[in-house]
Amino acid sequence: MDKILVTGGLGFIGSHTVVELQNEGYEVVIIDDLSNSSEKVLDGITAITGKTPIFERLDLKEKDKVESFFAKHNDVKGVIHFAASKAVGESVKEPLLYYENNISTLVYILKELRKLPSAGFIFSSSCTVYGQADELPITENAPVKEAESPYGNTKQIGEEIIKDTCKVSPNLKAIALRYFNPIGAHESVEIGELPIGVPQNLVPFITQTAIGLRQELSVFGDDYPTPDGTCIRDYIHVVDLAKAHVIALGRLLKNKNKDNYETFNLGTGKGSSVLEVIKSFEKVSGKTLNYKIVGRREGDIISAYADTNKANDELGWKTKLSLDDAMRSAWKWEQKVRATK
């Protein structure tokens, strides 16, 4: 079976994708520098799949090491590139750290892929490229808006770099997957999201508050022009998201792609407000969440959810898991993490 490199494969989305790749029979090699993950994640992957992927601890910013990796693994047929720094707030304070980690690593990998006879490349992009879209749901043709943060900009620039490289590299085929809001954990709770420090995202903040690690959740603004006044996002279960990667990769390896650079939105197509997410959590956990409404947070987009038609029709992929499923797994995961700490 084809050998696939998964960069950032010990991270949140990467680890779930490694599980799905191994379940489909792919041979997986992970590169991760453990800057935002732990080697213990390998045990979780092994517990679920019965197979331990090859793991190379390596910082992709080190160009020589990337070259040596590809010299050793010159039979790699595809790369799923998750490795990146992802904290929006930190990117505003430390833009160069983000441009270096998210852009240089991408360039070094693409340089190596150009040397291979053929390669499929999947890039972790984000719905952040659309900013506050003029029309909802958001299609892949919606204009890319000026980035709100250096992090968002690295996704836009990353997409441009890949597109330009594909134009001059007949051996290279690529897909940029624009994720909406990934949440949840594997149903086995062997793997899940492990935020370091204060969570940046809503769901880990909810579960950490419910378990007593945080005092209360602040809901930023309830006076937005939405039905309940809170912001709306498209929350997608990480296992559904992981499965989409395996399908997108298969599309490239089987030459089913229509263009050698394509983009797809990955979301459920349904928007949920912050208060709806809290309600779902309270329903599946049986707990009452301590939260308060505070003022709006600067830079928050009011509403974003995906038009999923292109992914449904072209990839033949659809989400199967609900918001409740995701909240249930996130809560089970939080309880397991705290019990083992």
Ligand X SMILES: NC(=O)c1ccc[n+]([C@@H]2O[C@H](COP(=O)([O-])OP(=O)(O)OC[C@H]3O[C@@H](n4cnc5c(N)ncnc54)[C@H](O)[C@@H]3O)[C@@H](O)[C@H]2O)c1
* Shortest Å, Cβ 117 to ligand X: 25
Pick the stretch among 113-121, 179-187, 215-223, 312-320 that binds ligand X (CB under 6 A): 179-187
Q: Which residues, 6+ apart, have CB-to-CB distance to 47 below 8 Å? A: 188, 190
C-alpha gyration radius of the chain: 19
Q: Which residues, 6+ apart, have CB-to-CB distance to 197 below 8 Å? A: none
3-state secondary structure of 4: strand
Q: What angle do CA 315, 321, 327 make, to 5 degrees?
A: 135
What track of x and - describes contact with ligand X for positions 253 through 292 (by CB under 6 A)? ----------------------------------------
Whole-angstrom distance, CA of residue 296 vs CA of residue 275: 14
Q: Is 35 in the site for ligand X (CB under 6 A)?
A: yes
CA 101 to chain centroid: 16
Pick the stretch among 6-14, 42-50, 134-142, 327-335 that binds ligand X (CB under 6 A): 6-14
Amino acid at site 99: Y
Q: Which residues, 6+ apart, have CB-to-CB distance to 49 below 8 Å? A: 19, 22, 23
* Shortest Å, Cβ 246 to ligand X: 16
Q: Are 245 and 251 in contact (CB under 8 A)?
A: no
Q: For residue 151, indicate whether it is catalytic.
A: yes
Contact residue for ligand X among 4, 5, 6, 10 (CB under 6 A): 10
3-state secondary structure of 318: coil
* Shortest Å, Cβ 50 to ligand X: 22
Let me know how long the chain is.
Answer: 341
* Shortest Å, Cβ 32 to ligand X: 5
Whole-angstrom distance, CA of residue 64 vs CA of residue 50: 33
Q: Which residues, 6+ apart, have CB-to-CB distance to 96 below 8 Å? A: none
* Shortest Å, Cβ 84 to ligand X: 3
Q: Is 184 in the site for ligand X (CB under 6 A)?
A: no
Site for ligand X in 237-256 (CB under 6 A): none
Residue 134, class by beta-carbon neighbours within 10 Å (0-12 exposed, 13-18 middle, 19+ buried)?
Answer: exposed
What track of x and - describes contact with ligand X for positions 87 through 116 (by CB under 6 A)? --------------x---x-----------
What track of x and - describes contact with ligand X for positions 53 through 92 (by CB under 6 A)? ------xxx--------------------xxxxx------
* Shortest Å, Cβ 61 to ligand X: 5
Site for ligand X in 120-139 (CB under 6 A): 124, 126
Residue 331, class by beta-carbon neighbours within 10 Å (0-12 exposed, 13-18 middle, 19+ buried)?
Answer: buried
Contact residue for ligand X among 36, 91, 260, 303 (CB under 6 A): 36
Q: Which two tokens stand for residue 210?
A: 């419910």
* Shortest Å, Cβ 304 to ligand X: 12
Annotated catalytic residue: which of 151, 179, 235, 305? 151
Residue with tokens 């890319």: 144
Contact residue for ligand X among 4, 5, 29, 31 (CB under 6 A): 31
Nearer to ligand X, 57 or 256 (CB): 57
β pairing state of 272-273 and 235-237? unpaired
Number of residues that bind ligand X (CB under 6 A): 29
What track of x and - describes contact with ligand X for positions 188 through 217 (by CB under 6 A)? -------------x----------------
Nearer to ligand X, 155 or 251 (CB): 155
**Kind plus residue range of the DSSP H or E element containing 263:** strand 261-266
Where does this chain bind ligand X (CB under 6 A)?
8, 10-14, 31-37, 59-61, 82-86, 101, 105, 124, 126, 179, 181-182, 201
Residues taking part in catalysis: 151
